[in-house]
Every structure is written in structure tokens, then in C-alpha cells.
Amino acid sequence: MNYKDPENILLILCGSTGIAALALIFRYLFIVKWGFDAFGANLVFLIIFIVGLVFFISYLEIIQKVIPPLFKRRKQTIENQDIIPESDTVEDIEPIIESEPEEPIANETPVINDLDAIREKHQQDEITRKQETLEVAIQYTRTTFAPFADDQNINRLCEYVIQYSTGTELKDVEPVKVKDLQNIDLYHFGWNIWNHFRMNKQEDIALFLKIVFAENLKDVDTDTIRKKLTFNEGKVKIGLEKEIVLINSI
């Protein structure tokens, strides 16, 4: 029962008035007829008023919860009986003609409803993207160091680049030997690789250079390498690349 409804409030007030009048009558009888004192009679008044009010409100709750659904069911039953077609009108109902399913348009892209298929496609696309990114980095490495290292050292360097791209820790590294390159050239190569993958901090690529080119950078600490990754001091042979692009081999 909604106690904020004005109608319900009015019903409770009216009921409370009647219960209070009944309680007053009993109070009067307890004083005059049964000789109770004022305190006892007032206590009887309160008990009768409270108990009566509780029963009255409970009665209203039952009435409002039970009676309306009964009337509603009765009304629905009557309405359903009214809409039942008579037997002589059944023959007038036209048969439902089923239309043939439309053929799908050739150019229309089917909607993918299978979430697993969507996830699998996303995973395959991500694998393809990473593979293409790695291929670009490997070709860039081979092309860049071709004039400055032999095949064995270039292949070893490419293996280390692959490990870097997968986040694998470098172990048992045999330093790569290069010629005719300054430290700044190696710094630029490291920054280009880091900028291409964008997967680690610059401290990681600095450590990568320190380990892979151990002979060239033996006197340079990792923090200095990190700070000089983008320096341009004098004439360099490996420049900074904003983006490494795939060069078609001849």
C-alpha cells in the first residue's frame, strides 16, 4: 500500500478516528464499570488503539493486494471470451501465404554474429600486423648494416632485433662487430628500432645497444646512450628515421 497516496491517508485517518472512539468507550467502561484507575484506563486505551490500528492497516493491505487482481483476472477472462471468433466465421479467415525468402544480394557483406569469429579475426589481424612490422625492421637492419658488417654479424643482429620485438631477454649474446660506424650511428639505429616498435622504454633500447654492440660501446654507460639516442653530432652514416618503410628489394 502506498502511504503517500491521499486516498490511503484519508482511509487511515478515518479508521484511526473510529478506533480511537472505540478505545475511548472501553476506557470509560474500565474506569466506571470495572474500577480501573486513570493510568490503567489510559494503558487500555493505548493498547486497544494500537492493536486496532494495526489490524485496520493490515486489512487495507489485504484488500488492496487481493481484490484488484481478482477483478483484473475476471475482466481479462470476459475480454478473452468476447474476442473468440464464432464457429461460422472461421471459414472467412484467409489462409496465410508464405512468401519465398529473398535471395541475398551478391554485394552485400554478411553480418558476423559469432563473437568468437570476431575475436579470432582480430587476433589474426594482430598477428599479421606484428609480422609485417617485424619484416620491415629486419629489412631495414639488413639494408642499413650491409656496408658496415659481414653476413654473419648482420644475421646475428637480426636475431637480436627479433628477440627485442618479442620482449625476450637477451642471453649469451655474441657482440656484433661493425666497421666505419661511430657511436652516434649506433644510437640512431637504436632509436629508429625503438620508434618503429614503440613497445618498450628508451632505457630498454639503450641496454640493447650496450649489450649487442658491446665492443663499440664498452666505454659508454647505458644512461649516456639513452640521452644521446637522438643527437646529431657531425656527419653521420645512419640517420634518424621518423618512420621505417619497407623497401622493395631489387
Count Cα atoms within 13 angstroms, Cβ side, for 250.
1
In whole angstroms, give the CA distance from residue 233 to residue 231. Answer: 6
pLDDT digits 0-9 by tens, 114-148? 888 888 888 888 888 888 989 999 999 999 999 99
Pairwise pLDDT comparison (132 vs 65), residue with the higher score: 132
The pLDDT of residue 249 is 44
pLDDT the model gives residue 123 = 85
Reported as a pLDDT band with limits 50, 70 and 90, residue 30 is confident
Instruction: Give the C-alpha distances (Å, rounded to integers) separating 151 from 155, 157, 177.
Output: 6, 10, 11
Q: What is the 3-state secondary structure of the chain?
A: CCCCCHHHHHHHHHHHHHHHHHHHHHHHHHHHCCCCCHHHHHHHHHHHHHHHHHHHHHHHHHHHHHHHHHHHHHHHHHHHHHHCCCHHHHHHCCCCCCCCCCCCCCCCCCCCCCHHHHHHHHHHHHHHHHHHHHHHHHHHHHHHHCCCCCHHHHHHHHHHHHHHHCCCCCCCCCCCCCCCCCHHHHHHHHHHHHHHHCCCCHHHHHHHHHHHCCCCCCCCCHHHHHHCCCCCCCCCCCCCCCCCCCCCCC
Is pLDDT larger for residue 11 or for residue 194? 194
Per-residue pLDDT reduced to its tens digit, 197-249: 988 899 999 999 999 999 999 999 999 999 999 998 788 999 999 888 765 54
Decide if pLDDT at 64 tops 60. yes
* pLDDT tens digit sequence for 79-116: 665 554 544 444 454 555 555 556 655 555 555 568 88
Judged against a pLDDT cut of 60, whether residue 162 lies above it is answered with: yes
Average pLDDT score over residue span 49-59: 85
Work out the pLDDT band at 77, boundaries 50, 70, 90: low
